[in-house]
């Protein structure tokens, strides 16, 4: 079972909806007993960075999540702000991040003609390193993005996917059992189904 | 490559899907859930679903139907119609939509925009503005499916909804609605030059070239259309369609 961590940040139904559609058992939950037994964990995130961090902390689930992800090495996928929270912090706010990955979160630069947020469909390309999460992803794969801040992994080898919007940026990050994507796979048609299905089935 | 979004706009009336001309004469085009399923299979960029009677009738959104629609959407979906309170926004987001579209309520007060943006983020709040152009005089903002004329000036209203927290503007031309003769590019330009947030152009699209004009010549970030995606041929036979893989 995949646990989608519920910490009251809006619509989590879409992630569960797509997982169920691809035949992967999933539950939206904040129940420690369910998270304890999950084979994989998805950390969603929407809206402001600080609000997400504060809400997540307020659930009291952090020690359990750290035990499961950092010690038991359960595969984890962060989505959107859920990916941004994996790092040390964000230019958007003052709350510290989870610090599970060595990455920072930066704001898109002000460039002429570049509207921020980056909202809409964009193509991504896999970084050089093969990774089970992006296995069989089409060359023209596109995903739905909506964000004003982007993740910047400290190590190039942690970059999973790249995209371009005014600048080149990391659309995904992966290090050992922890991964994150800036876009919304649950809202990205067959491309998102492929990625979530890789996450659900892969031995990552 | 980043693409401008191409967004079918679907109009709900009761439990059916309709298409209007100049906001009048709704023609039944089918079952909404079925149509949404087809659009989802055609991999549309995004969907906007508007209940055109809710505000006028002072009615609640049909949450059950919206949840059913959202369950078929493996792309972002926005819902508009009858939204006046944060509580309604919360129920809608819980029903599975990514964005809510506020229109008539914002003509009286932008409070619900601010409240929704604070809780769910600006990206979840779209301000829809319906505009009519009388024969004499400039653009006029209208509300409640173009049955009432607002006192506010278009420019002031655009600035006001963005300042209140709207993350996007859905700009609809009443005069071009359902005509398929092309967008009102001057109208789009007059709004895109005022604001930084994405402007979605709607009203008048009939061809891919029209979509392109709105983006390249008038600065729209995304384009929306109704008739173009539900009708086929000059006799307007109902046929759900979507030009695959358009890059604008």
Please state, in angstroms and rounded to a whole number, the distance separating the CA atoms of residues B5 and B224.
Answer: 8
Q: How confident is the model at residue B42 (pLDDT cuts 50, 70, 90)?
A: very high
A interface with B, Cβ–Cβ below 8 Å: 10-11, 13-14, 17-18, 21, 46-48, 115-123, 142, 144, 146, 164-165, 184, 186-190, 192-193
Cis bond upstream, residue A117 (ω within 30): yes
pLDDT > 70: percent of chain B: 100
pLDDT at B24: 96
Report ipTM (2 d.p.): 0.92
Rounded average pLDDT over B27-38: 96
Q: How confident is the model at residue A53 (pLDDT cuts 50, 70, 90)?
A: very high
Q: Per-residue pLDDT tens for B43-68?
A: 999 999 999 999 889 899 999 999 99
Write out the DSSP string of B16-39: EEEEEETTEEEEEEE-HHHHHHHH
pLDDT greater than 70 at residue A140: yes
pLDDT greater than 60 at residue A203: no
Residues of A in contact with B1 (CB under 8 A): 122-123, 164
What does DSSP say about strands B199-202 and B168-173: parallel, antiparallel, or unpaired?
A: parallel
| Percent composition of chain B: helix, strand, coil (DSSP 3-state, to 5) | 30, 25, 40
Asked if residue B169 lies in contact with residue B195, where contact means CB atoms within 8 angstroms, the answer is yes
B160 backbone φψ class: left, alpha, beta (φ>0; ψ -120 to 50):
alpha
pLDDT > 70: percent of chain A: 99
Rounded average pLDDT over B164-179: 97
Q: How confident is the model at residue A204 (pLDDT cuts 50, 70, 90)?
A: very low
What global pTM score does this model have?
A: 0.94
A120–B121 CB contact, under 8 Å = no
Going by C-alpha positions, the residue among B81, B89, B15 that lies closest to residue B49 is: B81
Q: Per-residue pLDDT tens for B71-92?
A: 999 999 999 999 999 999 999 9
pLDDT at B161: 98
pLDDT at A177: 97
């Amino acid at each position: 079972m995949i646990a989608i961590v519920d910490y009251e940040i809006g619509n989590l139904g879409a992630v569960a909806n797509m997982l169920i559609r691809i035949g992967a058992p999933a539950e939206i939950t904040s129940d420690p007993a369910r998270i304890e037994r999950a084979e994989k964990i998805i950390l969603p995130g929407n809206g402001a960075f600080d609000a997400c961090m504060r809400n997540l902390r307020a659930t009291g689930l952090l020690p359990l999540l750290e035990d499961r992800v950092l010690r038991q090495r359960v595969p984890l996928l962060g989505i959107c702000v859920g990916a941004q929270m994996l790092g040390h912090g964000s230019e958007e706010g003052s709350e510290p991040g989870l610090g599970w990955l060595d990455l920072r979160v930066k704001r898109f630069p002000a460039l002429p003609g570049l509207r921020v947020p980056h909202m809409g469909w964009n193509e991504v390309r896999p970084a050089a390193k093969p990774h089970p999460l992006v296995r069989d992803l089409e060359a023209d794969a596109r995903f739905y993005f909506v964000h004003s801040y982007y993740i910047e992994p400290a190590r190039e080898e942690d970059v999973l996917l790249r995209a371009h919007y005014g600048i080149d940026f990391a659309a995904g990050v992966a290090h050992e059992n922890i991964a994150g994507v800036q876009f919304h796979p649950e809202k990205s048609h067959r491309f998102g189904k492929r990625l979530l299905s890789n996450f659900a089935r892969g031995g990552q | 490559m980043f693409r401008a979004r191409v967004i079918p706009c679907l109009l709900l009336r009761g439990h059916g899907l309709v298409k209007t001309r100049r906001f009048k004469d709704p023609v039944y085009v089918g079952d909404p859930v079925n149509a949404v399923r087809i659009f989802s299979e055609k991999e549309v960029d995004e969907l906007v679903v508007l209940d055109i009677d809710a505000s006028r009738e002072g009615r609640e959104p049909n949450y059950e139907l919206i949840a059913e629609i959202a369950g078929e959407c493996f792309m972002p979906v926005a819902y508009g119609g009858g939204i006046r309170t944060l509580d309604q926004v919360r129920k809608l987001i819980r029903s599975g939509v990514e964005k809510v579209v506020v229109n008539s309520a914002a003509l009286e007060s932008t409070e619900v925009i601010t409240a929704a943006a604070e809780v769910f983020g600006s990206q979840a709040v779209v301000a829809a503005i319906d505009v009519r152009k009388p024969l004499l005089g400039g653009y006029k903002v209208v509300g409640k499916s173009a049955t009432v004329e607002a006192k506010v000036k278009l420019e002031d209203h655009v600035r006001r909804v963005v300042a209140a927290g709207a993350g996007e503007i859905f700009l609809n031309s009443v005069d071009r609605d359902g005509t398929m003769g092309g967008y009102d590019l001057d109208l789009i330009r007059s709004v895109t030059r005022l604001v930084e947030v994405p402007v979605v152009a709607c009203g008048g699209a009939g061809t891919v070239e029209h979509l392109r004009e709105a983006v390249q010549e008038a600065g729209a970030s995304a384009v929306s259309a109704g008739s173009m995606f539900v009708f086929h041929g000059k006799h307007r036979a109902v046929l759900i369609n979507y030009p695959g893989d358009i890059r604008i």
